[in-house]
Amino acid sequence: MSTPRLASLVFFLLIVPSSLAEERPNILWIISEDHGPHLGCYGDDYATTPHIDAFAKKALRYTHASSNAPVCAVARTTFISGMYAPSTGGQHMRDLVPAPSGVQFFPAYLQDAGYYTTNNGKEHYNLIDVRQGWDESSSEAHWQNRPDGKPFFAIFNYRNSHESQIRNENPNPHHDPALAPIPPYHPDTPEVLKDWAKYYDRLTDIDDILQDRLDELETAGVAEDTIVVFFADHGSGMPRSKRYPGWSGLSVPVIVYVPEKFKRLAPADYRAGAKSDRLISFVDLAPSMLSIAGIRPPEYYHGAAFMGSFQKPNPTYSFGYRGRMDERLDFCRTLMDGRFLYIRNYYTNLPHGQIVGFQQLTPTTSIWYQQFKDGLLNDVQSQFWKPHPHEELFDLWNDPHETRNLATNPKFRRDLERLRKTLDRQMESINDLGIIPEPILRQIALEGKSPRDELADLFGGTPIGELSPLSWVSKPNWENEEWKEALQSAQAIRRYWTTIWLSSKGGEPYAEAENAILRALKDEEPIVAVAAAECIGMNTSNEANRKRSMDTLVELSKYPENNIILAIHAMNALEHIQDLGHKLPSAASKLISEHETIPPWAKNYLPRLVQRFR
């Protein structure tokens, strides 16, 4: 495994000597938030995006581009570090973990190579204690402030298309709600049609903004000296796109323009106005930008440069991931090969459509959920709100909206097994820390340590299915009794995932294990106690045992007595038990008091959860 520290120490050896004698291009990124390829140039007839469409006619448009993560902070952590976020421990929404030693953000490499680097707008990275490499990062940052003669790398980020903007009335609407295209998983209601129309209105706003940025280049006389990259930070802000680990959450537009004088740095398949089916994802952006500048990407990078001096062949697969989203925990991994998309879900008692407070503010989300509760939806529309299965397999060629799960279809068994095994290898190769319960990672971060550094030898060549009892994921009919040994394992990870498995399995396995799980209420690792308490609360027929489990969860939900991530997990467990119709202890309604030490990034999470108990 490559070591970031060593890669950083030899940075100056990464510069290609001949590149210093050649003129280097400026690089401009224009990032818009929360939208998929719902643009005219991608074949969407409802979209009104004439400037983006004109830009695409002189650029290269990628049709299989992935944000790796379906939410902002995790996607940005990936593109800024050049590493898959789960390999750093930064895979959860708005988590803050120390960066691995030796890692620096890719603008720092550009800065060392003589670039003037600016970021106008959002940072929102999950990694801290790291050299970011900005000459300026603020709402005033602009490439026009660079010293004479310096090439620039500049980011402009725009929230105009953000999820939150869909809820605002648009004083200048462009799209008729009656004509709005809605996916088959959304109900056809006036609220949903209106939200989709407002979403497309926001894309028209982005269209105007992009042209403003391009006009600045022309006015300054640097348009033909500047490589321009336009992309969105993840899928649509509409529900079952943002936060969803499937293609509607990961698919993004990426359009790259390379001026004639720098065609030597263009992607191998570059042609003006063309499209590329190459699989690219956000992890490829950092090596590509360094490659443009003549810098050999560090060995610790996970991505493959698709342009510049150090281009690599087209990857075979695109990797995606979902962890905790705001106040809701989850652990999903995705693999896409250009046609088939495979999702593995580790918490099989949870739906993709968990009740995330911020997402519920969108009218489509609330009306969709209400109709589900009222039994008014068809099967396709209901799936989002039902517990997700262990595995999902979608044929994007024939089912672009991901509505037909083929994982149990014998015709696709070979594709399922191929993707299943490839995902195992992918997770092992990057040391995917998603397998570690987040409260454990959080405790390492609170001690000022990098989870990746502390857990660098986590796998050590051991297959992921042996590290923890997750064989039930790749072998759905797993019925051996390995779980009995695993409940007593010295390794907390094994104890945790075994308990999670028993929680979803229920029935005879749970009944046989109940005494052992009761003992786990006092486990030395608190998150194992949370899993045990939830398992009992959801499965026991003994009310005294259920009360013990819920009392344990109330104690572990208290903050600041416990770290905030542990409290969030415990409160989710209480809510899962409540959702089954069980009455919670009266103490559950008094879990939180006003406390100034709640971290700003999490200030709404506990109140949102507590509200359910009052």
Task: Give the DSSP letter string of 353-366.
Answer: S---HHHHTSHHHH
Position 221, amino acid? G
Question: What whole-number percentage of the chain has pLDDT above 90?
Answer: 78
The set of residues, in sequence order, having a beta carbon less than 8 Å from that of 172 and lying 6+ positions away, is 201
Mean pLDDT of 67-94: 97
pLDDT band of residue 34 (cuts 50, 70, 90) is very high
Rounded to whole angstroms, how far apart are CA atoms 612 and 614? 6
Catalytic residue among 41, 72, 332, 535: 72
Could you tell me which of 458, 457, 454, 433 has the C-alpha nearest to residue 445?
A: 454
- Phi (first) and psi of residue 115, to 5 degrees: -80, 145
**pLDDT band for position 465 (cuts 50, 70, 90):** low
pLDDT of 14 above 50 = no
Q: How confident is the model at residue 592 (pLDDT cuts 50, 70, 90)?
A: low
4 pLDDT band (50/70/90 cuts)?
A: low
Q: How far is CA 196 from CA 163, 234, 372, 396, in A?
A: 11, 17, 19, 22
pLDDT band with cut points at 50, 70 and 90 for residue 593:
low
**Distances 545 to 62, 487, 516, 519, 521 between C-alpha atoms, Å:** 55, 18, 12, 11, 11
Indicate the pairing of strand 318-322 with strand 332-336: antiparallel
What is the pLDDT confidence band of residue 476, given thresholds at 50, 70 and 90?
A: very low
pLDDT tens by residue, 507-558: 888 898 999 999 999 999 999 999 999 999 999 999 999 999 999 999 999 9
3-state SS class at 531: helix
User: How many degrees, rounded to 5, is the angle at CA 224 between CA 222 and CA 227?
Assistant: 95
User: Mean pLDDT throughout 157-165?
Assistant: 96
- Any idea where the domains of the chain sit in the sequence? 4-315, 479-611
Is residue 350 pLDDT above 90, yes or no?
A: yes
pLDDT of residue 549: 97
Pairing of strands 136-137, 274-281: unpaired
φ/ψ of residue 36, rounded to 5: -90, -165
Higher pLDDT: 591 or 299? It is 299
Residue 300, pLDDT > 50, answer yes
pTM above 0.85, yes or no: yes
- Contact yes or no for 230/65 (Cβ under 8 A): no
* pLDDT at residue 589 in the model: 80
Question: What does DSSP assign to residue 325?
Answer: B
Which pLDDT belongs to residue 474?
41
Q: What is the pLDDT of residues 362-409, one digit of tens each?
A: 999 999 999 999 999 999 999 999 999 999 999 999 999 999 999 999
Helix (H, G, I), strand (E, B) or coil at 562: coil
Q: How many CB atoms lie within 10 A of CB 229?
A: 21
Q: How far is Cα 572 from Cα 389, in angstroms, rounded to an integer?
A: 19
Q: How close are the terminal C-alpha atoms of the chain, in Å?
A: 50
**Cis geometry, peptide bond prior to residue 560 (ω within 30 degrees of 0):** yes
- Domain 4-315 in CATH 3.40.720.10: yes
pLDDT at 16 over 70: no
Q: What is the pLDDT of residue 460?
A: 63
Mean pLDDT of 38-46: 98
Spatial CB neighbours of 254, under 8 Å, sequence gap ≥ 6: 61, 62, 65, 229, 230, 231, 280
Q: What percent of the chain has pLDDT over 70?
A: 91
Q: Which two tokens stand for residue 155?
A: 């980011």
> Average pLDDT of the chain?
91
Q: What is the mean pLDDT of residues 243-271?
A: 98
Answer yes or no: are the C-beta atoms of 160 and 206 closer than 8 Å: yes
pLDDT at 598 exceeding the cut of 80: no
Whether the per-residue pLDDT at 461 is higher than 70: the answer is no
CA distances from 369 to 376, 492, 578, 608, 614 (A): 10, 36, 18, 17, 21
Closest CA to 109 of 289, 248, 245: 289
Query: Is 60 exceeded by the pLDDT of residue 11?
Result: no
pLDDT tens-digit map of 164-187: 999 988 888 999 999 999 999 999
What is the reported pLDDT for 464?
60
The per-residue pLDDT for 164 is 95
Q: Residue 485 and residue 501: Cα distance in Å, rounded?
A: 14
> In the predicted model, what is the mean pLDDT of residues 251-267?
98
pLDDT at 314 over 50: yes
The question of whether 72 is a catalytic residue gets the answer yes
pLDDT tens-digit map of 480-509: 567 777 788 888 888 999 899 889 888 888
Residue 304: strand, helix, or coil: coil
Give the confidence band of 595 by pLDDT, cuts at 50, 70, 90. low
- Rounded CA gap, 503 and 497, in Å? 10
More confident site: 6 or 583 = 583
Contacts of 263 (CB under 8 A, 6+ apart): 270
Integer Cα distance of 354 and 557 in angstroms: 19
471: pLDDT strictly greater than 70: no
Closest CA to 388 of 246, 507, 496, 534: 246
Q: According to the model, what pLDDT value does residue 517 have? A: 96
| Residue 6 reports pLDDT greater than 60 | no
Check residue 489 and give its pLDDT: 82
Q: What is the mean pLDDT of residues 161-165?
A: 95
